[in-house]
Structure 1
Amino acid sequence: MKKYAIIVAGGSGVRMGAEIPKQFLLLKGKPLLQYTLQSFLSAYNDLNIILVLPQAHIEKGQEIIKTMNAGERIQITSGGETRFQSVKNGLSNITHPSVVFVHDGVRCMVSQQLIQNCYDQAVAKGSAVPAVAATDSIRIDEGAYHYTIDRSKVRIIQTPQTFRSEILAEAFNQEYNETFTDEATVVEAAGNKVFLIEGDYNNLKITRPIDLCIAEKLLESFIS
């Protein structure tokens, strides 16, 4: 079955305190986004990538792709005002029955094993959404009061959220709703059950400066 990864890279550098979007920040001399792209290219030789970027940064994305010698395996499309619209733009480039990974461009530590595990489950069950158990105590803040909940029942959701293309494409024909926080919520709203899969604590999302430091240490351990 064909394989596509829609890599959504529309973030900014606001929380990082950076002047450039965080997907282009350097990690060991390479843009974060390059590590992400390479993980998917290496996971499967027959996987193609649809990189979704803001229009203003498409040229920078093209420069990264050139340095990777990825041939025609990566194509770029422009994003929308919301993640929903950006993913929908990416999906418009997929015309064959496929397994589709949707991944955050700044989750640059995603492993090939997790990608492959997601693919296998999506083929078997229709979906695979990586999740890890919460390790901290969790409280729900209702404004006037707050209360604790059983953290053993809490799962922290990651990407790549992976689906058979017919499920994902149908779900994204819906009108946008502000409750859509990720692909899983879109698919569920369309009446489909979503299946979780064990995620990876190393698969962190680079959001704040400390995350970049952690990623650098992880890379050092992988290399050594």
Structure 2
Amino acid sequence: MPQKEYAILVAGGKGTRMKSHIPKQFILLNGKPILMHTLEVFASYSSELSIILVLPESDVETWKNLCLEHNFNISHTLTIGGDSRFQSVRNGLSTIKESEGLVAIHDGVRPLVDKDTIAASFRLAAIHQSAVAAVRLKESIRVTDQDTTKAVDRSAYRLIQTPQTFDLAIIKNAYNIKEVSTLTDDASVAEMAGHKISLFEGSYENIKVTTPEDLIIAEALLKRKNKG
């Protein structure tokens, strides 16, 4: 019997790097808030998927108004976030009362994730208990130490994306650890809790929209996708 699947979409950005007074998840992308594009992809993956949206309390009323304005009616559970991504994900996990299943955790401002990536993450997490999207580096990289720099082998490194999908019991338990500043994503939380992390091939198009340049790229990619 297939395991129950959940998705936690974390959207707590303030739009600082975007140089916008509007939280970045609400900025329009081809006429619709970025966050709505993200929810639509996850909803299109499976009608059985339970979607949990985590927002700062100050953004809840704005989101509700945007849903009315755009006639947006995709089913989701709204949860209040914390002061950090760690706390927001933990709050999202706490809304899931079941102890068994699979949960994909995804950045709300990665609207160009595709259904195949989401499906792969669930399929592989069911086997390996974790499945974290990642891509290979294109550019050369160097490590710096004050006055010196040294070239390193880029083939040994990966850029980590979302979704990061886990066995529900494992990631719930992992988020019981103490929060520290080095825990920048869910994989690092699971790893610190003693779990092995499995990577799978993500997509270079699955960008995180955090700067004005990202928005231009996202608009172009979305227009091309819609034409296809």
Q: TM-score range by the shorter chain?
A: over 0.9
Deviation for aligned residue 1:61: 2.1
List aligned pairs for 1:88-107, cutoff 5 A.
88-96=90-98, 97-107=100-110
Instruction: Name the structure 1 match of 2:46.
Output: 44
Specify which of 149, 152, 161 is matched with residue 149 of structure 1.
152
Instruction: Name the structure 2 match of 1:19.
Output: 21
Measured against aligned partners, the alpha-carbon deviations of 1:187-211 in whole angstroms (never above 9, x if no partner) come to 0111110100100000000011111
Contact 1:130 1:196 survives alignment (8 Å):
yes
- For residues 178 and 30 of structure 1, the distance between their equivalents in structure 2, rounded to whole angstroms, comes to 33
Deviation for aligned residue 1:105: 0.5
List aligned pairs for 1:183-194, cutoff 5 A.
183-194=186-197
Deviation for aligned residue 1:65: 4.3
| Ranges in structure 1 where 5+ consecutive residues have no aligned partner | none
Specify which of 81, 85, 88 is matched with residue 87 of structure 2.
85
- For residues 62 and 5 of structure 1, the distance between their equivalents in structure 2, rounded to whole angstroms, comes to 20
Contact 1:34 1:64 survives alignment (8 Å):
no
Instruction: Name the structure 1 match of 2:72.
Output: 68
Normalising by the residue count of structure 2, what TM-score does the alignment of the two structures yield? 0.95
Measured against aligned partners, the alpha-carbon deviations of 1:132-187 in whole angstroms (never above 9, x if no partner) come to 00000111122232211101111000001000101100100111112111000100
The answer on 1:6 being equivalent to 2:3 is no
Instruction: Name the structure 2 match of 1:54.
Output: 56
Identity %, equivalent residues: 46
Specify which of 145, 165, 168 is matched with residue 165 of structure 1.
168
CA RMSD of aligned residues (A): 1.0
Normalising by the residue count of structure 1, what TM-score does the alignment of the two structures yield? 0.96
- For residues 65 and 127 of structure 1, the distance between their equivalents in structure 2, rounded to whole angstroms, comes to 33
- For residues 92 and 83 of structure 1, the distance between their equivalents in structure 2, rounded to whole angstroms, comes to 14
- For residues 84 and 146 of structure 2, the distance between their equivalents in structure 1, rounded to whole angstroms, comes to 27
Measured against aligned partners, the alpha-carbon deviations of 1:46-65 in whole angstroms (never above 9, x if no partner) come to 00111111110011222344
1:159 is paired with a residue whose SS is strand
Moved over 3 A (4+): 63-66
Q: Which amino acid aligns with 2:148?
A: Y
- For residues 192 and 67 of structure 2, the distance between their equivalents in structure 1, rounded to whole angstroms, comes to 35
Contact 1:28 1:216 survives alignment (8 Å):
yes
Instruction: Name the structure 1 match of 2:185.
Output: 182
Measured against aligned partners, the alpha-carbon deviations of 1:17-50 in whole angstroms (never above 9, x if no partner) come to 1111110000111000000011101101100111
| Ranges in structure 2 where 5+ consecutive residues have no aligned partner | none
How many residues matched? 222
List aligned pairs for 1:28-39, cutoff 5 A.
28-39=30-41
Q: Which amino acid aligns with 2:143?
A: I
Instruction: Name the structure 2 match of 1:113.
Output: 116
